[in-house]
């Protein structure tokens, strides 16, 4: 069981002081960084990245890569229909690298036939086997944990995801839609651990314990805990950093400062906290594969992983990278579940059907 040592946050706020410091030190760090940050790539040139992730969240990393290599990154944000777009473009597609914010979306790209093996020694050395495809078709770049936000007055010891179906939580649980990828992945992990029958029973119990209809986003969970609508709620770790870094006196700051964070595990012996990823795959018809591999190698290097932590509050995939101070104090390291991400992806459709079967979102 490995420990996560960093965190993540999809926020569009300007880069803060910690991130600015990281950026200023990045050039110095890269000058002496190990070979993983200096993968062979043509001097200059360019590559094209299609991403389902907001560009503002990764631009500091892309700018640092360009500063290091001289390679320009042309970034295209594709909110929906990434697979369909790349398939329609076919062999004439300009895309070199595909980036998503959910392992299921990465697997969809592979199964859709629009990727090729990464063939990167740097990625294999930096990223644990459980966080990349065995055949090299994709790799994780950063992680987020599916944790529990809780009322600060709640006296809670060790807690399991399965415990949320206990009647003692009736009317006290909040979450976003069960069909959101963050929750579908959690249900898929539950199926992998506990089987479909027990997971269905769990979903029915969880639904019975909801304090409101599954809706909104993860930050709304913190809002509704402060509002007395619920006591606990499922949410991603990076939003904690996002809320706590908001302007003092703002609603988001009040929500972040007004909750505690619990790190649940599964009932299965030796399990850990559920994590999902942002990740990338090399496009099948990449015009600039060497440049794309160089970018991947950079993104899993120590200085880039540190930047992931300090700008996005994410957990790095590379061991030994320090947590952002906000995440360190609010959550700390997380013992990640060792269930391979491919197992989670394999049960996604089953999970989605089960969520509909119990009418979770209705």
Could you list the residues known to form a binding site for Fe cation, using ranges.
238-239
Tell me which residue of 334, 300, 296 sits closest to 315, measured CA to CA: 334
Q: What is residue 324's DSSP assignment?
A: P
Asked if residues 49 and 74 have their Cβ atoms less than 8 Å apart, the reply is: yes
The 3-state DSSP class for residue 145 equals strand
Which residues are documented as binding site?
A: 238-239
Encoded tokens for 359: 């009418």
- Integer Rg of the chain from CA: 20
Alpha helix locations (H) across 209-269? 218-226, 238-244, 251-257
CB atoms within 10 A of CB 275: 28
In this structure, the dihedral spanned by the alpha carbons of residues 282, 286, 287 and 293, taken in order and rounded to 10 degrees, is 10
């Amino acid at each position: 069981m490995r420990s996560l040592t960093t965190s993540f946050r999809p926020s569009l706020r300007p880069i803060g002081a910690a991130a600015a410091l990281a950026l200023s030190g990045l050039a110095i760090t890269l000058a002496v960084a190990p070979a993983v940050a200096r993968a062979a790539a043509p001097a200059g040139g360019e590559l094209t990245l299609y991403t389902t992730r907001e560009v503002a969240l990764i631009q500091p990393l892309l700018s640092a890569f360009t500063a290091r290599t001289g390679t320009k990154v042309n970034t295209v944000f594709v909110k929906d229909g990434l697979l369909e777009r790349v398939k329609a473009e076919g062999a004439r597609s300009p895309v070199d690298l595909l980036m998503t914010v959910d392992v299921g979306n990465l697997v969809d790209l592979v199964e859709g036939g629009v990727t090729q093996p990464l063939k990167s020694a740097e990625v294999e050395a930096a990223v644990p086997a459980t966080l990349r495809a065995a055949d090299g078709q994709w790799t994780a770049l950063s992680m987020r944990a599916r944790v529990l936000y809780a009322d600060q007055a709640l006296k809670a010891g060790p807690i399991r995801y399965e415990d949320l179906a206990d009647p003692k939580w009736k009317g006290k649980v909040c979450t976003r839609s069960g069909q959101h990828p963050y929750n579908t992945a959690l249900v898929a992990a539950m199926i992998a651990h506990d089987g479909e029958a027990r997971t269905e029973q769990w979903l029915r119990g969880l639904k019975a314990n909801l304090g409101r209809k599954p809706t909104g986003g993860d930050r709304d969970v913190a809002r509704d805990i402060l509002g007395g609508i619920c006591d606990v709620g499922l949410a991603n770790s990076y939003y904690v950093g996002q809320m706590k870094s908001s302007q003092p006196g703002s609603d988001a700051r009040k929500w972040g400062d007004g909750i505690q964070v619990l790190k649940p595990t599964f009932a299965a012996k030796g399990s850990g906290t559920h994590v999902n990823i942002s990740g990338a795959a090399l496009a099948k018809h990449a015009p600039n594969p060497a440049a794309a591999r160089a970018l991947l190698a950079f993104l899993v290097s120590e200085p880039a992983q540190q930047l992931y932590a300090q700008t996005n509050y994410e957990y790095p995939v590379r061991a030994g990278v320090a947590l952002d101070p906000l995440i360190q104090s609010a959550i700390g390291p997380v013992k990640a579940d060792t269930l391979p991400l491919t197992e989670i992806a394999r049960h996604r459709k089953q999970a989605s059907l089960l969520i509909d079967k119990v009418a979770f979102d209705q």
